[in-house]
Amino acid sequence: MATLTCGDSAYRVAAKSVRADQCSSPVAHRDLLQEVALLSEFHNPSGKTAKIDPEKMWVHPNIARFYGFVVEKDNMHLLMEYAPHGDLHNYLTSCRHLCIESGTMATDQDREFVRFALDVSQALVELHKQKIVHRDLAARNVLICENRVAKICDFGLSRDIYKEREYVTPAAETDRARLPIRWMALESLQDGTFTTKTDIWSFGILLWEIATLGGTPYPGMSADREIISWLEEGNVMEVPEDCCQELGALMCACWSASPEARPRGQEIANQLSSLLALEAEGYFFTPICYESQTDAETDVDDVVMENSEENNNEAN
């Protein structure tokens, strides 16, 4: 965490750069540069000045704020909003000790999880309105910021589909590309298609992560051809035990084989808002405890795949 001073204003920021173990990777540097370009245009759409003024930048309450970037020798640092509570995945796993102590999860904590999901859905509505597909929506890419507000971050894989309605990534870029297999829609895995509807599939996986307090999707399966073949057979993950009917149905709707059958972001936001408005007893998500994932399981979030073609189609 650092402090960014602009005139009379000071902001707490976090610096994001290429990890030390990826400094030799041209793909990692390319993704960071791409994220800088997209966020610069997204938060400063006028493009009238190279100097970014945080007071005049566009802000959405559920998208992590971008303050600019700095270049130091051969490395670039993105200056992003500081999240005192870390990312959603770590937040979820840190809540497991509450279950261990009491055997269940507190109802107020449960409602907070629904609010996190609502926050993310509202961010997706705005991204899709701006013709942007995130392509890597997962609990690890959601920050829990001040006042415990959830905000989408990490736009390294995002694409502006207004400018790039269809494109084919050069073979040099797709070779040995790392893809978040466990969060990807079937059509993305099969032919590299990414649309607003593939983000919706990933949102369903994020709901599953919340319900399992940070569990690894497709437990017991390797993130390679095994998952793809299993999905091609028409399978999807089971809704976690004791998850309420409404959220279970929403997960399954997000995983519909037909992209057109999946709900839109605004429909999801409306459903979650309605749930939070209820004064119902009981739990929305699973109240029971889940054992921690092993290192072996959590290390397979991204795997190497070879994609011959990657299309980014117009938003639905």
**What's the CATH code of the domain at 6?**
3.30.200
Which residues make beta-bridge pairs with 4?
A: 11
For the cut 80, the answer to whether the pLDDT of residue 78 exceeds it is no
Q: How many domains does the chain have?
A: 2
Last residue in a domain, options 60, 81, 102 = 81
Q: What is the mean pLDDT of the chain?
A: 77
What does the pLDDT average to over 99-126? 83
The predicted-structure confidence for 129-180, as pLDDT tens digits, reads as follows 988 899 899 999 999 999 999 999 887 655 544 343 322 233 334 444 567 8
Confidence of residue 82 (pLDDT cuts 50, 70, 90): confident
DSSP H helical segments within the chain, as ranges? 26-43, 88-94, 96-102, 107-129, 171-174, 186-191, 196-211, 225-232, 245-254, 265-277, 295-298
Give the 3-state DSSP-derived string for 5-61, with helices as H, strands as E and coil as C: EECCEEEEEEEECCCHHHCCCHHHHHHHHHHHHHHHHHHCCCCCCCCCCHHHCCCCC
* Structural domain that includes position 135: 88-312
What is the identity of the amino acid at 145? C
Residues 7, 56, single domain; the answer is: yes
| 77 plus 133 within the same structural domain | no
Q: Report the pLDDT value the prediction gives residue 65, as an integer from 0 to 100.
A: 84
Range from 24-33, 76-85, 202-211 that averages highest in pLDDT:
202-211
Looking at the structure, tell me whether residues 76 and 107 fall in a common domain: no
On the question of pLDDT at 215 being above 70, the answer is: yes
Tokens representing residue 69 in the block: 């970037």
- How far apart CA 266 and CA 123 sit, in angstroms, is 10
Whole-number pLDDT of residue 285? 73
Q: Are residues 213 and 97 in the same domain?
A: yes
Is residue 206 pLDDT above 90, yes or no? yes
* Nearest CA-CA partner of 133 in 161, 101, 113: 161
Same-domain status, 73 and 97: no
Same domain, 192 and 241: yes
Residue 255 has pLDDT above 70, yes or no: yes
Please indicate, yes or no, whether residues 60 and 106 belong to a single structural domain of this protein. no
Instruction: Give residue 6's pLDDT.
Output: 64
Kindly indicate the confidence band of residue 8, based on its pLDDT and cuts at 50, 70 and 90.
low
CATH code where residue 122 lies = 1.10.510.10
| Active site (catalytic) residues | 136
Nearest to 185 by CA among 250, 123, 137, 122: 137
Rounded to whole angstroms, the Cα distance separating 63 from 83 reads 12
What tokens were used for 165? 């309605």
Give exposure, 197-234, as e/b (b: 16+ Cβ within 10 Å).
Answer: bbbbbbbbbbbbbbbbbbbbbbeebebeeebbeebeee
Express each pLDDT in 229-239 by its tens digit.
Answer: 999 999 999 99
Side chain identity at residue 154, one-letter code: D
Q: Do 96 and 157 fall within a single domain?
A: yes
Q: How far, rounded to the nearest angstrom, does the alpha carbon of residue 168 sit from its chain's CA centroid? A: 23
Please say if the pLDDT value at position 95 is more than 80.
yes
